[in-house]
Amino acid sequence: MPANNPQTSGSGSSGARLPVIRFEEEMHNLVSAASELIEQEKEFAVVMVLRSQGSSAVKTGAKAIVLPEGRIIGWLGGWCSENAVLTAALEALEKGTPKIVRLVMKGDELRKIGEDVIEVGTPCGGEVDIYIEPVYPRLQLLLVGDNEVTRMLAKIGKILGYKIAVYDMMATKEKYPEADIIINSPSSLEKIRIDRNTIAILATMGKTWVDEETLERLLKTDIGLIELVSSTRRAQEVLKLLIKKGYKPEDLRRIVTPAGIDIGAISPGEIAISVLAEIIMFRRGGSGKSMREVKGDPLEIVLSAIESPALSRPEQ
């Protein structure tokens, strides 16, 4: 008896045994679009339907990309759910947190009826759960200055996975092998990405005129954070110069100075760690306190239990 041919045997009038594939082509397009956006260093959110029940054009497994300007790449069921998806995805992008959102297909208008529940404003009657994953460009450190501190910032920043840009007339690739970009003139500064995923660290070590000029440029952008490595006295001088030029307190509050967390840093490496620790704290919502202070002292907890055994024993 001849063996079954997997390409011709099986159900159906054609005898084919091809698997039923619903999302392969869409996935290819989605991955290609995502790769292109990552290469262009763009923000976006990936949205995937986790569950769909009742009357809804949105099907489980459907995926799409949402861009900050409100454009959707992919298919998530058309206009009846599109506005709700946009609302949820843009909120997740703004907050920087993945989330699961339930879309309820009822009501007369789009409105939130819970922390992560949106009434879509359509009479379809179904429910859809979507998962939203924000995607951002690699965090970019813009290091201003050329000294041992900026070199240590470049080394440690690269270990942390950051994109490194160095801005100084004397900066070279030999001095900064970790750098992705070397900028030697103010005009070239305008050619790099400066957005909320960029953090500038000014560590010129006394070149107040460079700090002043660079801060004026950066304060006109949407840069995410500006750190000025300086003594309190010199920081005051820089801020006074900017106030004389018409900058308001709300503008100057975007400048964090003196930069860093108080760890008693002395060496260039320690100063770099202090500044980068503060950046991590801001990005991750940390407190800056010791973990023992935040989580509790394990030894004190253990000793307390030993000294009070009666509290953990049932009465006889």
CB-hemisphere CA count at 13 Å for 205?
Answer: 11
pLDDT at 168 over 80: yes
pLDDT at 312 over 80: no
DSSP letter at 124? T
Instruction: Give the residue-averaged pLDDT of 220-230.
Output: 96
Q: Report whether 219 contacts 247 (CB < 8 A).
A: yes
Please give the residue that has the higher pLDDT: either 309 or 141: 141
pLDDT of 55 reads 66
CB-hemisphere CA count at 13 Å for 88?
Answer: 34
CA-based nearest residue to 135, from 83, 197, 76: 197
Q: Could you give the CA distance from residue 47 to residue 9 in angstroms, rounded to a whole number?
A: 38
Instruction: Return the SS3 of 154.
Output: helix
Residue spans of the domains in the chain: they are 24-32+42-135, 140-291
Q: How many CB atoms lie within 10 A of CB 183?
A: 21
Residue 78 CB-density burial (10 A; 0-12 exposed, 13-18 middle, 19+ buried):
exposed
When mean pLDDT is compared across 22-26, 170-174, 227-231, 276-280, the lowest value belongs to 22-26
Please give the residue that has the higher pLDDT: either 80 or 247: 247
CA-based nearest residue to 140, from 225, 83, 76: 225
Rg (CA), the chain: 27
Residues 22-60: b if buried by 16+ CB within 10 A, e if exposed: eeeeeeeebeebbeebeeeebbbbbbbbeebeeebbbee
pLDDT at 9 over 50: no
Q: How many CB atoms lie within 10 A of CB 306?
A: 9
pLDDT of 315 reads 58
CA-based nearest residue to 119, from 98, 101, 100: 101
pLDDT at 12 over 80: no
Residues in the chain: 316
Can you read off the two tokens belonging to residue 171? Answer: 């900066």
What pTM does this model have?
0.83
Q: Could you give the CA distance from residue 231 to residue 55 in angstroms, rounded to a whole number?
A: 64
Instruction: Return the SS3 of 256.
Output: strand
Instruction: Give the residue-averaged pLDDT of 97-123.
Output: 82
Sign of CA dihedral 28, 33, 39, 43: negative
Please give the residue that has the higher pLDDT: either 247 or 11: 247
- Which segments within the chain are labelled E, that is strand? 44-53, 63-66, 72-74, 99-104, 111-114, 117-119, 127-135, 140-144, 163-167, 181-183, 198-202, 225-228, 255-256
Superfamily of domain 140-291: NAD(P)-binding Rossmann-like Domain (3.40.50.720)
